[in-house]
């Protein structure tokens, strides 16, 4: 062991100096506070304030010390604004504290108002007199009082070694000392003294350390006064002075536990000493030559526990329409979802909610407000170890619809209208989804998305009601609308088109098994099957108003529908039409034609009229765990190579469109087959039209049982 000492009347000890690699960065690993504190000189004996924002320490042989680089110790101080801010450039304390060549600070008490330093000073001359301890008070104007002797019985008589170390408990009632009673000895032993009720200090009492080793130094008591930390050179250590702790086994400090070495995140194979904690015990500081600057001792700061084991959240509930705080008229509340706990509801009175959320868990935040739906914000604090702040914005969106209460009423009050059957109710030509009927009251309830104007039309009993205009283009939030649709008792019988047919399974060529229920889709809205035949398989019936174009399809799990366009713009009054609808079972290898897909002539550009069909396909693909190939085909007009490329480009365009609509790209592949796979005779115009097509082929699919 190579050692050197700072020789002084009251000097601090520093052992051998080497370098060793420290553990990786972690919130609770020792940290270098930076060059504002650590320099190329020695930094020793750190003392941390209770709040962790002020650090006092001794600098040895620093050029800015009063006695310079050749034999000097001065007391310095650094501060920081908060626990996450950098430390300020350290400043040397004034000569009222740094009174001699080798200064030592043993305690800072009373929130920085009382300093205990090494040395006794003359009552008149105030010059250094002898070894001992003195107390200095900080005055209201920032100046310091003259040093006052602190009488510790036997301290001056026993303190004869080359060096001495000491510390005081934060309440000023307990002192721990490391010193030698042998003249010019470096071998220190530990002692304690307690402040008695009469205000005097007890005689120094030796701490009986089991197998004390060469030397025990720089002692420090924990806040509960039961644990004594110190630095020692002992057998079983890591090679030099290491940090240890012992526990008092009785209130009189007569017996102690076996010394226990502190974690190797603090200790290394080189010198460590001066372990200290702030009054809360949340931070510790110590000095080490491990990875130090210029082979000098440096200070390390380590967090022991998080004083504030939570995140400070600032949460805003905002209205999606304007980004402003949610109006109190909607009775907004913040819902906090905690794992394994009931949902917490917080009434929102201000635009910003301050909320503290404990660490080590996941949380969800959402808003609850009348007629609004909210997004959910997830906050994962499972891996967070330290206090932090985070701002959250929870966005609430008004319900995108209005509730319509539609009353069917006769224009002649003397002739009450009794609604026995509502055959058809449309808004802008599309069937109103999921209406609720109260025939006894002639009432229909349904929902419409706001933001558009609507024209409502209905067929009630056997009469067509007078169209009703419902202006909702300026409505941007939920509301209930009560309105009346008038019917004249004397109007003529309604003229409708009756549509009948079968739902055909393409694979079998037969009507869909009646044990497999299906829904009819008219303009992408589910319509009730009006067929009275509940025995025959796959039969359906619909009543449709003439003068319009309809897109017809079938919805059944495990099947894909081949959508058909039905043009009733020139349909005859009271006509009955026959039309079968086709579904294709979803099986690996099955190819399904995508109807109603048009491209610009000779190009891969999809015409806008094709978008509704592709939107249906995107929704369909998103509804299944499926992988599919989009295949392009052409007729035999033109060169084979050109047709092959055109079909490939068109298939790629379809895939790109589907991906833009939310279909995962991993579900899709594409390929052009040109004219190689005709399904009809290319000698006829009709056959060529059938061969110009886009299909999707099922490559893989998982269907629920």
* Count of CB atoms situated within 10 Å of the CB of 371: 15
- Provide the pLDDT for residue 532: 66
Bridge-partner residues for 76, per DSSP? 57, 92
For 279, counting Cβ atoms within 10 Å of its Cβ (0-12 exposed, 13-18 middle, 19+ buried), the class is middle
Residue numbers in the chain where pLDDT is lower than 50: 1-24, 492
Bridge-partner residues for 256, per DSSP? 248
Q: Kindly state the tokens that stand for 211.
A: 């197998």
C-alpha distances (whole Å) from 613 to each of 221, 427, 589 are 79, 21, 22
What residues contact residue 637 under an 8 Å CB cut-off, 6+ apart? Answer: 643, 688
Nearest C-alpha neighbor of 50 from the set 174, 229, 228, 170: 170
- Provide the pLDDT for residue 520: 86
What DSSP string describes 349-413? -SSSEEEEEESSSEEEEEEE-TTEEE-EEEEE-TT--S-EEEEEEEEEEE-SEEEEEEEEEES-T
Quote the radius of gyration of the chain (alpha carbons, Å). 44
Cα 665 from Cα 662, distance rounded (Å): 9
- Provide the pLDDT for residue 531: 75
Q: What does the buried/exposed string (b/e) look like for 202-233 if buried means 16 or more CB atoms within 10 Å of the residue's CB?
A: eebeebebeebbebbbbbbbeeebebbbbbbb
Cα 668 from Cα 646, distance rounded (Å): 19
Q: Could you give the count of Cα atoms lying within 13 Å of 305 in the half-sphere of its Cβ?
A: 7
Cα 268 from Cα 15, distance rounded (Å): 13
What DSSP string describes 446-503? EEEESSSEEEEEEEETTEEPPPEEEE-TT--S--EEEEEEEE-TTPPPP--EEEEEEE
C-alpha distances (whole Å) from 249 to each of 15, 90, 158, 169 are 30, 40, 25, 18
Nearest C-alpha neighbor of 668 from the set 676, 679, 657, 678: 657
Cα 454 from Cα 550, distance rounded (Å): 18
CA angle 491-497-503, nearest 5°? 145
Contact by Cβ (8 Å): 363, 337: yes
Bridge-partner residues for 130, per DSSP? 120
Sheet of 227-233: strand order equals 215-221, 227-233, 242-247, 260-261
Q: Kindly state the tokens that stand for 367.
A: 């808003």
C-alpha distances (whole Å) from 413 to each of 10, 418, 489 are 111, 12, 10
Q: Kindly state the tokens that stand for 288.
A: 């080490």
Cα torsion at 396, 402, 403, 407 (round to 10°)? Answer: 170
Q: Could you give the count of Cα atoms lying within 13 Å of 91 in the half-sphere of its Cβ?
A: 9
Contact by Cβ (8 Å): 495, 525: no
Report the SS3 class of residue 151.
coil
Nearest C-alpha neighbor of 221 from the set 107, 110, 118, 59: 107
- Provide the pLDDT for residue 599: 93
Residue 256 is classified by DSSP as B
Cα 667 from Cα 664, distance rounded (Å): 6
What residues contact residue 601 under an 8 Å CB cut-off, 6+ apart? Answer: none
Nearest C-alpha neighbor of 295 from the set 13, 117, 67, 42: 42
What residues contact residue 194 under an 8 Å CB cut-off, 6+ apart? Answer: 173, 174, 175, 201, 202
Cα 86 from Cα 96, distance rounded (Å): 28
Q: Kindly state the tokens that stand for 69.
A: 């680089």
Cα 194 from Cα 172, distance rounded (Å): 9
Q: Could you give the count of Cα atoms lying within 13 Å of 694 in the half-sphere of its Cβ?
A: 27
Contact by Cβ (8 Å): 366, 337: yes
Contacts of residues 123-126 at CB distance under 8 Å and 24 or more positions apart, as own/partner, are 126/99
Q: What is the pLDDT of residues 505-554, one digit of tens each?
A: 999 999 988 677 788 888 877 777 777 676 778 899 888 878 888 899 99
């Amino acid at each position: 062991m190579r050692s050197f000492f700072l020789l002084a009347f009251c000097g601090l000890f520093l052992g051998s100096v080497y370098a060793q690699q420290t553990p990786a960065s972690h919130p609770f690993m020792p940290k270098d506070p930076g060059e504002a504190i650590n320099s190329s000189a020695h930094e020793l004996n750190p003392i941390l304030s209770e709040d962790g924002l002020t650090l006092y320490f001794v600098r040895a042989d620093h050029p800015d010390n009063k006695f310079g680089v050749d034999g000097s110790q001065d007391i310095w101080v650094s501060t920081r604004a908060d626990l996450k801010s950098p430390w300020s450039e350290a400043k040397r304390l004034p000569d009222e504290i740094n009174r001699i060549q080798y200064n030592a600070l043993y305690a800072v008490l009373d929130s920085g108002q009382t300093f205990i330093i090494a040395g006794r000073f003359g009552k008149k001359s105030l010059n250094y007199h002898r070894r001992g301890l003195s107390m200095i008070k900080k005055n209201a104007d920032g100046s310091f009082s003259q040093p006052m002797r602190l009488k510790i019985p036997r301290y001056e008589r026993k303190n004869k070694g080359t060096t001495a170390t000491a510390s005081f408990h934060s309440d000023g009632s307990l002192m721990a000392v490391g010193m030698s009673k042998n003249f010019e000895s470096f071998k220190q032993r530990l002692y304690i003294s307690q402040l008695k009720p009469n205000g005097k200090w007890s005689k120094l009492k030796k701490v009986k350390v089991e197998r004390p080793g060469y030397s025990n130094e720089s002692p420090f008591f924990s806040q509960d006064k039961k644990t004594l930390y110190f630095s020692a050179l002992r057998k079983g250590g890591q090679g030099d002075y290491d940090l240890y702790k012992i526990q008092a086994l009785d209130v009189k400090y007569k017996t102690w536990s076996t010394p226990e070495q502190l974690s190797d995140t603090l200790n290394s194979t080189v010198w460590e000493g001066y372990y200290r904690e702030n009054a809360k015990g949340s931070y510790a500081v110590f000095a080490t030559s491990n990875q130090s600057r210029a082979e000098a001792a440096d200070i390390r700061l380590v967090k022991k526990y998080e004083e504030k084991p939570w995140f400070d959240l600032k949460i805003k509930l905002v209205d999606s329409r304007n980004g402003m705080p949610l109006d109190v008229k909607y009775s907004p509340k913040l819902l906090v979802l905690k794992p394994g706990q009931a949902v917490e509801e917080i009434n929102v009175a201000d635009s910003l909610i301050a909320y503290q959320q404990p660490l080590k868990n996941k949380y969800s935040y959402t808003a609850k407000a009348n007629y609004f739906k909210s997004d959910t914000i997830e906050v994962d604090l499972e891996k967070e170890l330290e206090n932090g702040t985070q701002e959250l914005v929870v966005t609430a969106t008004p319900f995108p619809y209005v509730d319509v209460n539609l009353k069917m009423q006769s224009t002649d009050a003397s002739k009450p209208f009794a609604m026995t059957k509502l055959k058809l109710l449309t808004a802008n030509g599309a069937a109103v989804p999921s209406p609720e009927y109260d025939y006894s009251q002639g009432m229909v309830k349904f929902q419409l998305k706001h933001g558009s104007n609507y024209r409502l039309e209905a067929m009630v009993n056997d009469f067509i009601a007078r169209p009703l205009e419902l202006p909702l283009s300026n409505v941007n939030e939920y509301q209930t609308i009560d309105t009346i649709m008038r019917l004249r008792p004397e109007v003529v019988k309604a003229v409708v088109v009756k549509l009948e047919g079968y739902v055909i399974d393409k694979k079998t060529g037969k009507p869909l098994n009646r044990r497999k229920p299906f829904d009819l889709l008219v303009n992408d809205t589910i319509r009730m099957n009006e067929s009275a035949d509940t025995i025959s398989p796959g039969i359906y019936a619909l009543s449709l108003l003439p003068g319009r174009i309809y897109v017809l399809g079938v919805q059944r799990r495990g099947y894909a529908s081949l959508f058909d366009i039905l043009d009733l713009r020139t349909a005859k009054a009271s006509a009955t039409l026959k039309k079968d609808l086709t579904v294709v079972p979803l099986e690996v290898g099955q190819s399904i034609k995508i109807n109603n897909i048009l491209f610009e002539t000779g190009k891969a550009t999809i015409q806008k009229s094709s978008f509704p069909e592709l939107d249906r396909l995107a929704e369909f693909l998103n509804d299944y765990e499926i992988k599919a190939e989009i295949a392009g085909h052409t007729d035999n007009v033109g060169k084979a190579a050109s047709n092959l490329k055109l079909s490939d480009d068109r298939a790629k365009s379809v895939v790109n469109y589907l991906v833009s609509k939310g279909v995962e790209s991993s579900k899709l592949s594409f390929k052009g087959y040109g004219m190689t796979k005709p399904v009809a005779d290319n000698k006829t115009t009709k056959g060529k039209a059938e061969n110009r097509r886009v299909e999707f082929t099922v490559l893989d699919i998982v269907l629920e049982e």
